[in-house]
Each structure stands twice: as C-alpha cells, then as structure tokens.
Amino acid sequence: MLKELYIRNLAVIREAVIPLGSGLNIFTGETGAGKSILINGINAVLGQRCSKDIVRSGCDKAVITALFTDLSETVKEKLDELGIEHDNDEITVTREISADGGSVARVNSRTSSAALLKEIGSLMINIHGQHDNQILLDSERHLRILDDFGGDTELLESYRADFRELQSAARCLGELKNLERTRIERTRYLNEIIDDIGELELEAGEDDELEKEYAAARNSENVVIALRSAISSINGEDCAREMISAAENELTAYADESEELSQLCDRLSASEIELADIAAELEKISDRSEADSRRTEYLRERIGAINRVKRKYLADGAELVKMYENACGELSKLESSGDEIKALASKREELLHTVTEQAKALFDYREATAERFVRLVTGELEFLNMSGVELVVRHEKGKLTLNGMDTVEFLISANKGEEPKPISRIASGGELSRIMLALKSVIADRDSIDTMIFDEIDTGVSGKAAQKIGIKLRQIGKARQVICVTHLSQIAVMADDHLMIEKSVVDGRTETRVTPLDRAGRVAEIARIMGGEDPGSLVLKAAEDELRKAEKI
C-alpha cells in the first residue's frame, strides 16, 4: 500500500508529508485548494507524463517520493524480475521534474525510467477519475470489463495464440496464391535469366579480371605484327637472305683471286646462316604469339558475351551472379509453391476449426460470466440506491477477431418496465459514477492491486446515494487501501483517515498544506462542507451526529 507521500515544490505545494492509512483515506478541501495536485503527484510517481508547468514558480524542480509497504506477491515477483531490492517488503519511488522540462525517476535511490515506474505502479495502484466513466460510454471497452471480471485469461490467451497463427497462415497463403497467378510469366522470366547468365558460367569478379588480361593481350598483338614483318624481311620475297645469297654468288667467282674477297664471301655466308637461325627463332616466337592471339580472340569473344548480358539486365558482373542465384532460388520456390499452397490451405482449415471451437468455448464462458456479472453488479447498484436500474449484457456472436467472436454491450433500464438501452444514451453523470463504482467493487475482488484511488467519484450525486457511495468505499477499504477525493460530507464521514487540503498565503505566496485531522478537526471540516465557512453550532452538532452515525455503520 501507499504508506507515505512526500511532495516538494509541486505547483502550490511547497512541501508536504502525507501519511496514509490502510483503509479509507479521504481528502477534502475547498474548491481550488489543490486536491487535483495530489492526484498529479501520485500520477508522477506512477510514471505518467508530467509537464514542467507543475513545478512551483521560481523553483528548479519538483520532487515527489512515495513509500510503498506491505508489497503484494505480484509486486515482489515483478521487482525480483527487474532486480530491484525490497527489504522489509517496502520500496521508495521518486520522480523529479525539472523546470526545464526534464525528469528523473528513481526506485530505492536507483535511477530508473518512467516506463519502469509505470510498469511497477500499474501493479500497486489503480486510479479512477471522472474520465474513466467514458469507458462505460464506449461499447468496445465492455468486453474488456467483462473479461476483467471473469478473471480467467487462460482460454483467451490460448485462443489469441492460435488466432495469430491462423492470421499468419492465411497471410502466407494469400501471398502464395498471388504469386501463383503470376507464376507462369515469372517462371519464364526467371528461366531466361538462368539461361542467359548460366550459359556464361560467370564467377564473381571474373569480368574485371578478363578486362585486365585483355588489355595486356592487345599490347602483344603489336609484337606479333613486328615478328611477322621481321620473318618476312628475312625469308620472304626479295628478302635479306636472297639478297645476301645473290651477293655471295657474285663474289664467289673472284674469291679465289683475292684473299680479301674470299674473306668477305665467308662473312656473307655466315650472315646468311645467322639470318636463317634468327628467322627460325622468330618463327618459334611467332608460333607462341599465335597461341597468345587465340587467347586474345577468346578474351574478346568472352568479354563481348558478358557485356551483352550486362547491357540486357543493366547490371555489372557481381550483380549478374547475384541475379542468377536469386533466380534459381525463386524458381525453386515457384516450382514447389503448388505443394506449399496445398499444405498451407490444409493447415489454415485445421487452425480455423480449432480457433472456431475455442471461440465457441470462449463465448460460452463469457455467457456464464455475464450472468454472474449482472447478478453481482445489480446487487451493488441496489446498495448504491439504484434499485430500479436493470443491467443487461447484450452478448452476441459476430465474426472472428483477436478477442473471439463476441460483441458485448452493457444496456440499462433506469426505470422498471422500460426497455434497456445503451448506457451512453440514458445514463446521467451521477449514474455513471455509481455504475463505475459498482464495477470497480465487483472487479476489485479479482485483482491483486492493493491501492485504489477515486478522484471525485461523487460527481453528480448527493443525499442518500452519496451516503451509499461512502459506505461502499468503506467496505472496499476493509480489503484494500482506498484513497478518495470528495466534496460531499456523506462520503467524508466514512473515512478511516481524513486529511484536509487547504490554501493559505505565506510571505506573500500561496501555499497548499495537507493536514491529517483528529476528531475535532474532522467535525469542523465536515461542518464546513455541510454549511460553508464559519458554521454555526447547529451545523457543528449535525456534523458530530453524522460522524457518530458513520462510525456505527
């Protein structure tokens, strides 16, 4: 439960230490005294969004610290899961809101996040404000209320798991069927990719390597031309060897007559032999170069083939390889899609049958839950001075959704004999408050949240109805901590602990104080609520009587 709340520099509250009891804690005070600030402070330590505007003017930050004691097993399990210690079954939660808009959250002095505060706080405190009455006006929320009352979530969670699996199977089946409709055209296109690229047997990076080799090979072509020209010059028509041979023949006739000519003839003969040897070497080199030329031609053709496919698919070599791999994978999937469609269709039918049966069981469970719900809420409404109100749960079957096949709407008849109609059409503000209190009463027994906060639950009610609300709040306070902000004396007299919120001017500035009241203080405050400021002796006596009566209830 919330044992103590410390507030500093929050709006008009300069500093306040607010002790809270385990039963019904009532806050009263004049309009504008700052009762809503108390709720804002609690919301802050529960991780709700905070505006920098709530920081007291002229201060750097606002600080709110809450001490929680006697933690429930649910809360302790969550704290253990989060690695947060809870010595003596208690924790402190702090929220600091800076004037510049930032905020800091702490649990047991350990820096935390607002999201974590919200996660923990949702297990410790349930706040009901006037806006919660709007839940009753929204028929789409009624099914959630009924399920919260039922308390058994196992069937719904099992149904939702199978329903999501059914959705997934149906979505995949739809995708495959759409794919099937374009399968023939797509298959043709994929086969074309596989044929074009597969014929190349292209490897990643091969095109770049071929280009480099081809650039080097083109340089060797000039060498081949030079070789052929040189061989032709030595061995061709009118070649050097023939000319040397002719020159030798001319001189041979006179070589015997001249030693000098004889030597020159020998040199010419040697030159002819050397040229023949040179020509032979050149032929060998030329033969090798011819082989290189065939490689160059292969490279030219290979690169040309690759470039044609590149241009066709507007892709480089690496992209072509990836396209080929993807096409092979997709084609394999397309070819097996027929079998997959059959298997998925069969699975979907099985899941649909399972989910439908679960939905029927869920419908029957909710039907029985609705009967108990109506019986208990009607009893609460009778106690809350609404005995003429008839509550009906309109429960019908519809299409399968994540929540089952149920549509639920709460209907009421405000007077006997009148046809029940949607709450949104006939309920007044006071009736909504009491209906919501009745719902909270029957649902409260089914959750483990230790603290319930009611912010102006008395809106639109007075007299005997207000008294019944006070009694009901006290009853709830016997099982768990209740904190209530009220303007009505009929509710205030039911308090186990009564705290007054009042404004005053200190050193020229408005301040709000929160003061626990003793019995005399309670009598004076209840008299003020009944008769205004400076109540007379009769009003004070009436307040004393009302308080005495409440203590006997």
Longest dimension (CA), the chain: 174
Same domain, 116 and 202: no
95 inside domain: yes
* Domain of 70, in residue numbers: 1-124+494-515
Q: What is the dihedral of CA 476, 478, 479, 482, to 10 degrees?
A: 50
Tell me the CATH number at 107: 3.40.50.300
Same domain, 14 and 81: yes
Same domain, 235 and 107: no
Token output for 354: 């399972």
144 inside domain: no
Q: Give CA separation, 457 vs 133, 360, 431, 435, 529, in Å.
A: 10, 38, 11, 11, 16
Amino acid 259: pLDDT: 76
366 inside domain: no
243 inside domain: yes
In the listed set 333, 350, 376, which residue is the last one of a domain according to the structure? 333
Same domain, 25 and 119: yes
Amino acid 290: pLDDT: 58
541 inside domain: no
24 inside domain: yes
Amino acid 222: pLDDT: 65
259 inside domain: yes
Same domain, 6 and 77: yes
Same domain, 212 and 71: no
422 inside domain: no
How far apart (Å, rounded) are the C-alpha atoms in residues 267 and 15?
Answer: 126
Q: Is 449 exposed, middle or buried (0-12, 13-18, 19+ CB in 10 A)?
A: middle
How far apart (Å, rounded) are the C-alpha atoms in residues 497 and 3?
Answer: 12
Same domain, 16 and 116: yes
pLDDT in tens, the chain (553 residues): 999 999 999 888 888 899 999 999 999 888 766 777 888 889 899 888 888 888 888 899 999 999 999 998 889 998 999 889 988 899 999 999 998 888 899 999 889 888 899 889 888 988 876 556 666 777 778 898 898 888 888 999 999 999 999 999 999 888 877 767 777 788 888 888 889 888 888 888 888 888 787 776 666 666 667 766 777 777 776 677 677 777 777 777 776 777 777 787 778 777 777 777 777 777 776 666 555 667 777 888 888 888 888 888 888 888 888 988 898 888 887 776 667 788 888 999 999 999 999 999 999 999 999 999 999 988 888 888 887 788 899 999 999 999 999 999 988 887 777 888 887 776 666 677 788 788 878 876 666 688 888 876 777 777 888 888 899 999 888 888 999 988 899 999 999 999 999 888 888 788 888 899 999 999 999 999 888 777 788 888 998 999 999 888 7
Same domain, 112 and 197: no
Beta strands in 434-538 (DSSP E): 451-455, 481-485, 497-506, 509-516
**Number of structural domains found in the chain:** 2
Edge-to-edge strand ranges of the sheet holding 13-19? 13-19, 2-10, 61-68, 91-98, 103-107, 110-112
Same domain, 93 and 188: no
Same domain, 31 and 113: yes
Whose tokens are 């809350």? That residue is 384
Same domain, 204 and 75: no
How far apart (Å, rounded) are the C-alpha atoms in residues 411 and 397?
Answer: 17
Amino acid 159: pLDDT: 94
Same domain, 114 and 200: no
Q: Which residues pair with 387 in a beta bridge?
A: none
Q: From the CA atom positions of the chain, what is the Rg in Å?
A: 48
